[in-house]
Amino acid sequence: MEKIIFQSDDGTTAEFYVEEQTNIAGVTYLLVSDSQDEEADAYILKDISAPGSTEACYEMVEDEDELQAVYAVFQQMLDDVNFEWRSDF
């Protein structure tokens, strides 16, 4: 499983494991987890990189409608994974 490191605007870093990737209407989304444990927390990140940029720029999806729509796609892609929906991030 690919492990990626994200750096926030304030310089802090966080490590995530890429569980899956999808493209919806030309927008790339990543399903990432904070560990490889069964009880890991998962997040959906949206690629907001500028066209032609050499570095990827992602942000957490916060819009509830967008989050639920992308969540449904990932749930179908990973039908053998048990997801528990929480919106208290």
Position 71 in a domain:
yes
Position 68 in a domain:
yes
Position 85 in a domain:
no
Residue 20's domain comprises 3-77
The two tokens of residue 5 are 């490191």
How much is the pTM? 0.82
Environment class of residue 11 by beta-carbon count within 10 Å: exposed (0-12), middle (13-18) or buried (19+)?
exposed
Position 86 in a domain:
no
Which strands make up the sheet holding 3-7, listed edge to edge?
A: 3-7, 13-24, 27-33, 42-47, 58-60
pLDDT in tens, the chain (89 residues): 789 888 888 999 999 999 999 999 999 999 999 988 888 888 999 999 998 899 889 999 999 999 999 989 998 888 766 666 555 54
pLDDT digits (tens, 9 = 90+) for 58-79: 999 999 999 999 989 998 888 7
